Structure formats: C-alpha cells, structure tokens
Structure 1
Amino acid sequence: MSAEDLEKYETEMELQLYREYRDVVGLFQYVVETERRFYLTNSVRLEPRTTEGGDVYFEVTMSDAWVWDMYRPARFVRNVRVVTFKDVNVEELAKSELEPPPTT
C-alpha cells in the first residue's frame, strides 16, 4: 500500500467517523475529552485522586458511551474507566446544539 493510498484510506475513515458522530451525538448528554480520547456519554463521574507522593490524577468513569476512535470496530461501550494525569474536559451538551438547523 502506498503512502497516498494510506492517506486516502485514513481520510475516508475519518469522514465515516464524523458521519457516525453526527448521527449519534443527539443520543448523549455529555462530551468528555481526555488526553487520548473523545467520548459522548450519558453518565460521567470525574474524581480527582492523589498519590502517596502528592501527584494528582483523575479517575473518569462513564456508562453508555460512544468513543471517537476510527480504529475501533465497536465504538459503543457500556462502561468506561479512564485514569489520567492530564486534565479532563467534561461538557454538558445543550439540546439546542444537538438540533439540526432549520430547513428553508
């Protein structure tokens, strides 16, 4: 496979993933962004933890989630647990953001 073929394949996979995201985003209440992944979920719990050495890390648990990952064959996940030393961004989706624009 040439570099051009690989780039074309990855571009097609990203477009397919974006289309899937667009189709499912209305099913979820929260967006969770970690250092490695992007999730849509209906239930999220973020708990800061401290190691014995005083370092802070975060434990994120989610249920009923969709994972933005083009290499994953199954993106819907029942339960997710993420442990990270980086910041975690959790946003609640406003229903108005989820509605398609009106057609004229």
Structure 2
Amino acid sequence: MTDRTADDPIGRVVAEEWAATLSIPPGGGPPGDADFFLAGGNSLQAARLLAGIEARLGVRIALRSFMADARLGTLREECAHALRAVPVGNDSDHAHDV
C-alpha cells in the first residue's frame, strides 16, 4: 500500500486486493500509475482481483473495462465512481455494474 492510499479507503482496498492478487508483500504496494499486466498479472488474476474488490466494496467492475486500462489509479477511480452511483441501502448482493 502506498502512502497516498493511507487516507483513501477505496484506494486502500483496491491496493490491498491488487497486492494480494499479485502476491506483493505487505508494504510493497503498487504506485498509483502501476499497470496490472506490466506488473506480472494475467487475465485470470484480473478476474480474481475484480471479484475481491466486488466482495469488499460491493461494486462490479467489468473485466473488459479493466483490461482496456489496467492501471491502479484508473481502477480506483472506477470503483469510486461506481460507489457514488450505488443507491442508498444497497448491499453487496446487488453489486453495481460498471
């Protein structure tokens, strides 16, 4: 996790899931402009990453969207946008598609 995500709960979750998916040791999180595939990720890991984010944040990011721009900062922004669009009272059983 980077210092920039310390005060950003969405960014923290995204960075933690990213690091866990790529088996990055604690404290060795990615920079905000990191590209998932250039960091060694593959499409199966991308699907796992997005599933982990959905489980924790209750938002569903389309794999196609992520693969078009697989940077950490972009993923964080997509999650934040999706969370702003989720109606009040929504639960993770009804995740918002992006």
* Structure 1 and Structure 2 fold alike (TM over 0.5): no
- What TM-score comes out, normalization by structure 2 length? 0.27
Which one has the bigger strand percentage?
1
Give the number of the structure whose alpha-carbon radius of gyration is greater: 1
- What TM-score comes out, normalization by structure 1 length? 0.25
